[in-house]
Amino acid sequence: KLFIKDLWFEKVPVRIYQPKVPSASQRKGVMFFHGGGWVSGSLETHEKLCRSIARESESVVVSVGYRLAPEHTYPAAYEDCLNATIHFMKDIEHYGVDPANVIVCGDSAGGNLAAAVSQTLAGRSDLPKLRAQVLIYPGLQALDFNLPSYQQNQRVPLLFRERAAFYVLQYLNGNASNLEEVLEGSHIPIDITLNYRKWVSPDNIPEKFKVRGYKPHVLLDCTTEVYETVKRFCEPNLCPLLAEDAIIQQLPESFILTCEYDVLRDDGLLYKKRLEDNGVRVTWYHLEDGFHGIINSFNSDWLSFSSGKRGLDNIVNFLKSL
C-alpha cells in the first residue's frame, strides 16, 4: 500500500513512505526521528512503525537517518534532523504534501530531536509553521535524574536510569566520564539548578505520580571542572525543557505520550505543563501499563503488547484529526 524510497536530503539519508492510494487533496507530511538514545536505532529499526503511521494516517512519512553518537556528538543529530526537515519543507510540493500540514514526530531520543527542531522552526519566518509535534516518551532534560519517575522506574526495562544518563552523556561528549556526578545531581551548580527549578522540579508533577516510593532529593553543589564538561546541558537544543517562554509560546499543537513505568515519564509531564502554561494546545495520552520503548513493539514478531497498539492508535488518531 506504500511507495517506499531511500533518498538523501542534503547529506542526510532519509526513507520516504507514500501511500499509493490517490488522494483528492494534499497529504500531511510527518518528519520522523527514531529513538535509540542518540547512539543506536536506524531507518531499519523503525521501519514497521513508520509504515504503520504512513498507512493508517494516510500521510507521507519521512524517516531520518541522522548521525549517531559517540562518533558524532551533539549537535550532529539535531542538525541532521533540522536540515532534513527544512529540505523537505522547501521541496514539499514534489511530495504532494500540504505546506501548512507538516508534523515533526519522534520516540525517546527522537522525541527530544523533534522538540528541539520544533523550537528552532518556531522562530523562523521564512518557512511555513509546523502544524504539530508528536513526542513519544521524549527525554527533554539532563539536569535532574532524581525526579519521581527516575526513582520509581530506575530498574524497569527497556531503559534503566543509569542508561538514560549514559546515553545523554554519549550524545553530549562521546563518553560517559561524569556519569556518577550526573546521576547524583552534582553536575550543575546549585544557583543554575535553582534558576531552572521553575520548570524542572518535582513540585510541577501531579501528586498522584509521586505515591510510588518517591523521596525528595537533596541538592548537591558541583565542581567547576565537572560543570565545564556538561554545561551544554543548559542549551535548549539539547534539553528542550529549558527553552524560554517566548519560544514555548510559539510552538504548534502538541501530542505527548507518556508511560507509567518509564524513567522519562516526568520529562513528558513537565513539558506538558510548560506548553499548557504557555497557551499551547496539548493532547496527552498516558499508558498506565506502558514502559519505555513499547510503541516499537506494537507488532513485533516475538513480543507484542496491546498497550503499544493502543498508544499507536492514539498517535494515528491525533494525526488524522489535524
Q: What CATH number does the domain located at 2-141+237-321 have? A: 3.40.50.1820
- The grid coordinates listed for 210 are 509521586
> How are strands ordered across the β-sheet holding 27-33?
2-9, 12-19, 60-64, 27-33, 97-107, 132-136, 253-261, 282-291
pLDDT cut 70: percent of the chain above it:
98
Apex CA 272: angle with CA 269 and CA 188, to 5°?
65
User: Does pLDDT of 304 surpass 80?
Assistant: no
**List 108, 149, 254, 297, catalytic entry:** 108
User: Does pLDDT of 302 surpass 70?
Assistant: no
User: Does pLDDT of 297 surpass 90?
Assistant: no
End-to-end CA separation in angstroms for the chain: 22
- The grid coordinates listed for 214 are 518517591
**List 262, 266, 297, 307, catalytic entry:** 262
Query: What does the domain layout of the chain look like in residue ranges?
Result: 2-141+237-321, 148-230
Active site residue 292: yes
How, if at all, do strands 12-19 and 2-9 pair? antiparallel
- pLDDT for residue 299: 63
- pLDDT for residue 303: 63
CA distance 91 to 43: 21
User: Does pLDDT of 247 surpass 90?
Assistant: yes
User: Does pLDDT of 164 surpass 80?
Assistant: yes
- pLDDT for residue 301: 61
User: Does pLDDT of 9 surpass 70?
Assistant: yes
**Cα radius of gyration (the chain):** 19
User: Does pLDDT of 135 surpass 70?
Assistant: yes
| DSSP string over 173-214 | HSS-TTHHHHHHT-SS-HHHHHHHTTTSSGGGS-GGGSTTT-
For residue 105, CA distances in Å to 126, 174, 181, 192, 317 come to 21, 25, 31, 30, 14
280 contact partners, CB below 8 Å, separation of at least 6: 248, 249, 251, 252, 253, 254
- pLDDT for residue 213: 87
Candidate from 263-272, 280-289, 305-314 with smallest mean pLDDT: 305-314
**List 266, 292, 297, 307, catalytic entry:** 292
- pLDDT for residue 268: 98
Active site residue 262: yes
User: Does pLDDT of 300 surpass 70?
Assistant: no
Read off the pLDDT band of 90 (50, 70, 90).
very high
Read off the pLDDT band of 305 (50, 70, 90).
confident
